Amino acid sequence: MALAQGPVPFDESGIIDELLLALVGIHGDLFVDTNDREEKDEDNWQLPGPSECSVHISPELTWIGESDRQVLSDLLRLGFHFKAVSTFVDWEHAPWEPHPRHGRRPPSVYRRALASGLTELLDDYRIAVLQLQRELRQQQAPALPTICHRMWEYTDVLFSLHSLVWSQDAVSLAPTFSAADLINRLHADSRCCGVPAVRQALGRLLWHCNQVLMQQLAAWMMHGMLQDPHREFFIQPRAAPPPPPPPAAAGASTAAATGAGVAASTAAGAHQQQHQQQQVPHREDEGGGAAEAAAAAAASAAAAASSSGRADDDAAYREWHG
């Protein structure tokens, strides 16, 4: 009589190594990533969102219990987040010119600084997975509970990093990229986050981005230099003045200006001479009028004197004859 075979314990399934590879974004036939099997346009493909996990357990693994499936799904999300962040880092560290994706978005030294900080955090995660693999091989401990215990601290960290790079990848496709928005977001998230591991990770990324800003400030304030190849610094050079005209055009302009000045001076002299000639008769008329007024005044005075003398003679005559 054959007994019905129940679910096989996970520790005896022999897929521990497959799970450890899935934690670092390497998927195969047992843990499948649907994005790897779909044909995608590398130029237009965008990172999946942090809530759109595309990694799942193969349908062929029918002997895994339901409780173990739930735990495996939570662990596979770590590998999904890790793979998305690693893809963003690879895009930013690739050379600008040959990479087809960079033709549709402006380059940014701040995004590259962000990618450098993400590389450090991902390296810490890889080291943790390698140490976990060595521990599982050396000790006879339950595999699945041990993996969950060692990896639970990265659950919130990788989710936050995936959310950050997903939003920055969408923003980077805009015509202009604002480095100030990136720094402000890192500063706000690192101050307001209540999870210590996430706050520490975001603070590390903020430090990397601030290094670029401090170098640009030091170059400007100490040496008067703008180290801003992609025009992301808040200080920008003024527009250059228009170039001077060619020498031949300048000589022609000078001769034309000289001729115009001579003509204007000649016309002004002729006008002034004509004006003076018109003023001479007017002054003579004014002199004649004054002479006539003086003669009239003298005649009036003489007439008044004659009348006064005649009146005196009449008075003397009347007094003599009584």
* Residue 58, Cβ density class (10 Å: 0-12 exposed, 13-18 middle, ≥19 buried): middle
Residue 72 lies in a domain: yes
Alpha helices per DSSP H over the chain: 16-23, 34-37, 66-93, 109-138, 143-151, 154-172, 179-192, 196-223, 247-321
Domain count, the chain: 2
- Is pLDDT of 106 > 90? no
Q: Which of 152, 163, 164, 156 is nearest to 205 (CA)?
A: 164
Residue 251 lies in a domain: no
Residue 232 lies in a domain: no
Q: How far apart are CA 182 and CA 35, in angstroms?
A: 28
Confidence of residue 269 (pLDDT cuts 50, 70, 90): low
Q: Are residues 150 and 285 in the same domain?
A: no
Q: Are residues 87 and 203 in the same domain?
A: yes
Collect all residues with Cβ–Cβ distance below 8 Å to 42 and sequence separation of at least 6.
100, 101
For the chain, give the percent of residues with pLDDT over 70. Answer: 65
Instruction: Give the single-character DSSP code of 11.
Output: G
Q: How far apart are CA 22 and CA 57, in angstroms?
A: 11
The token pair that represents 305 in the structure block: 């004197």
Tokens 């801003």 identify what position?
228
Confidence of residue 101 (pLDDT cuts 50, 70, 90): low
Mean pLDDT of 245-270: 59
The token pair that represents 166 in the structure block: 């997903």
Q: How far apart are CA 27 and CA 79, in angstroms?
A: 9
Q: Are residues 45 and 171 in the same domain?
A: yes
Residue 26 lies in a domain: yes
Q: Which region holds residue 242: left if phi is over 0, alpha if psi is between -120 and 50, else beta?
A: beta
Q: Are residues 189 and 273 in the same domain?
A: no
Residue 298 lies in a domain: yes
Mean pLDDT of 62-88: 89
Q: Are residues 21 and 157 in the same domain?
A: yes
Residue 272 lies in a domain: yes
Q: Which of 154, 156, 152 is nearest to 126 (CA)?
A: 154
Residue 214 lies in a domain: yes
- Is pLDDT of 113 > 60? yes
* Residue 205, Cβ density class (10 Å: 0-12 exposed, 13-18 middle, ≥19 buried): buried
Query: What is the domain extent for residue 180?
Result: 10-223
- Is pLDDT of 238 > 60? yes
Residue 172 lies in a domain: yes
Largest Cα separation within the chain, whole Å, is 198
Q: Are residues 206 and 315 in the same domain?
A: no
Confidence of residue 290 (pLDDT cuts 50, 70, 90): low
Hey, what amino acid is at 317? Y
